[in-house]
């Protein structure tokens, strides 16, 4: 015999229930919970206490029908497992925590068609704003974003054509800056190790800028090695072994991410390679979790938390804007490059 569901037939809690416990009118409860109107602090506390006692959660969707908005901010990122995005989300949270707005996270899985679906679903809830990673989207997604009539911010990148506002760094400039730092330190036989995925637009832009920076300095890129799939220590080790087997006289390895650079570093140390004199190496993104490695990897701070905070500020201002905010990445030489 199936057990009885204790919630079967249980009536939904209403404003009237809260009003009766608090000893006030339903209109007063509505004003307090919607943070509208002039209500005394004592009355507010009575209403909140009653709502907590009863476990009442206001229906924000119904309450938003008049304004056609809910206090949600859609945030679309490629992946929750990519270590790039927790800092961005943390920056967004720092700002939205001081407002009635709450972020709702969706993932695109690096698939533009899936991203289009996620954006459609989020906009169907009539959020108060939308923050989307990257500048490359389907035409349908761009059209939805352009016509949503809410604050819209694309983050992480400013190399392209934003739909409205954009907050990020120039990845092409970051690549050129890294090339300049490497050449200035006397390295000349340079290899690049990165993703083969054309969907990783920001890494591809950094590679483009890196090639340009080397060309401007009159230094050819000696070799390249690409991987399919996920980055990580194992990927970095495998690529490092592969590229040095092909081109053993390389004196510098530039990785698309610190996670791959960490695997390369451990491989080189196991092989007894002198770092940074025999071979230097650098990554990108400056992940604090890697600070416990034997050597600090040279990297570039991509200003992720700053980007998240500024994007959230633009949304919280509740104004339509096409402002482009560009942060400058910061090179951190660590222990794996010669001193500049």
pLDDT tens track for 314-324: 999 999 999 99
pLDDT of res. 1: 34
pLDDT of res. 5: 46
Model confidence at 193, pLDDT cuts 50, 70, 90, reads: very high
Average pLDDT over residues 183-190: 98
Q: What CATH number does the domain containing 46 carry?
A: 1.10.260.40
Same domain, 96 and 35: no
Same domain, 308 and 160: yes
Same domain, 142 and 204: no
Evaluate whether residue 63 is within a structural domain.
no
Same domain, 201 and 278: yes
* 98 has a pLDDT exceeding 80: yes
* 251 has a pLDDT exceeding 60: yes
pLDDT of res. 4: 42
Segment 20-36, tens digit of pLDDT:
999 999 999 888 887 77
Three-state secondary structure call for residue 169: strand
pLDDT of res. 25: 93
pLDDT of res. 126: 86
Same domain, 252 and 206: yes
Structure tokens at 137: 């989207």
pLDDT of res. 150: 92
Total domains in the chain come to 3
Segment 204-234, tens digit of pLDDT:
999 999 999 999 999 999 999 999 988 999 9
Same domain, 198 and 234: yes
Average pLDDT over residues 149-172: 97
pLDDT of res. 66: 57
**Which residue in 219, 128, 154, 144 sits closest to 181, CA to CA?**
219
CA geometry: angle 172, 282, 196, nearest 5 deg = 60
pLDDT of res. 13: 75
Same domain, 160 and 281: no
Segment 164-174, tens digit of pLDDT:
999 999 999 99
Same domain, 47 and 117: no
Evaluate whether residue 156 is within a structural domain.
yes
Q: What CATH number does the domain containing 264 carry?
A: 3.40.50.2300
* 8 has a pLDDT exceeding 60: no
* 67 has a pLDDT exceeding 90: no
pLDDT of res. 30: 86
What is the pLDDT of the chain when averaged over all its residues? Answer: 91
Please give the Cα distance from 30 to 291 (Å, whole number): 50
Whether the CB-CB separation of 332 and 177 falls below 8 Å is answered with no
pLDDT of res. 135: 97
Average pLDDT over residues 100-104: 95
Evaluate whether residue 256 is within a structural domain.
yes
Query: In the chain, what percentage of residues exceed pLDDT 90?
Result: 74
Query: In the chain, what percentage of residues exceed pLDDT 70?
Result: 94
Model confidence at 61, pLDDT cuts 50, 70, 90, reads: low
Same domain, 287 and 212: yes
Same domain, 196 and 177: yes
Q: Which domain covers residue 38, as residue numbers?
A: 15-58
Same domain, 152 and 266: no
Evaluate whether residue 340 is within a structural domain.
no
Model confidence at 59, pLDDT cuts 50, 70, 90, reads: low
H or E element that contains 144: helix 139-146
* 189 has a pLDDT exceeding 90: yes
Segment 253-273, tens digit of pLDDT:
999 999 999 999 999 999 999
Same domain, 295 and 177: yes
pLDDT of res. 69: 79
Cis before 227 (ω within 30)? no
* 10 has a pLDDT exceeding 70: no
**Which residue in 234, 210, 233 sits closest to 224, CA to CA?**
210
Evaluate whether residue 90 is within a structural domain.
yes
The count of residues in the chain is: 340
Query: How far is Cα of residue 163 from the mean position of the Cα atoms in its chain?
Result: 18
Average pLDDT over residues 123-136: 93
Structure tokens at 159: 């190399």
């Amino acid at each position: 015999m199936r057990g009885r569901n204790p919630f079967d037939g249980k009536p939904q809690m209403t404003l009237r229930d809260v009003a009766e416990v608090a000893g006030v009118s339903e209109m007063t409860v509505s004003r307090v919970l919607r943070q509208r109107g002039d209500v005394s602090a004592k009355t507010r506390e009575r209403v909140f206490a009653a709502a907590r006692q009863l476990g009442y959660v206001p229906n924000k969707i119904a309450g938003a029908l008049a304004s056609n908005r809910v206090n949600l901010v859609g945030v679309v990122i490629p992946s929750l497992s990519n270590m790039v995005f927790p800092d961005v989300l943390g920056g967004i949270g720092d700002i939205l925590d001081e407002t009635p707005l709450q972020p709702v996270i969706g993932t695109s899985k690096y698939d533009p068609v899936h991203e289009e679906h996620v954006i459609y679903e989020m906009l169907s809830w009539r959020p108060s704003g939308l923050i989307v990673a990257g500048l490359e989207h389907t035409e349908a997604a761009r059209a939805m974003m352009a016509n949503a009539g809410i604050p819209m911010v694309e983050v992480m990148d400013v190399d392209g054509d934003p739909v409205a506002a954009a907050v990020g760094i120039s990845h092409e400039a970051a690549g050129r800056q890294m090339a300049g730092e490497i050449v200035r330190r006397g390295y000349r036989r340079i290899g690049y190790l990165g993703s083969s995925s054309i969907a990783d637009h920001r890494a591809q832009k950094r590679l483009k800028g890196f090639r340009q920076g080397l060309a401007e300095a009159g230094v050819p890129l000696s070799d390249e090695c690409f991987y399919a799939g996920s980055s990580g220590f194992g990927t970095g080790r495998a690529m490092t072994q592969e590229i040095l087997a092909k081109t053993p006289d390389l004196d510098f390895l530039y990785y698309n991410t610190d996670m791959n650079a960490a695997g390369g570093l451990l491989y080189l140390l196991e092989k007894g390679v002198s770092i940074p004199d025999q071979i230097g190496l650098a990554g990108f993104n400056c992940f604090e979790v890697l600070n416990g490695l034997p050597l600090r990897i040279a990297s570039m701070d991509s200003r992720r938390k700053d980007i998240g905070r500024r994007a959230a500020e633009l949304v919280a201002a509740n104004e339509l804007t096409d402002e482009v905010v560009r942060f400058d990445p910061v090179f951190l030489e660590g222990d794996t490059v010669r001193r500049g």
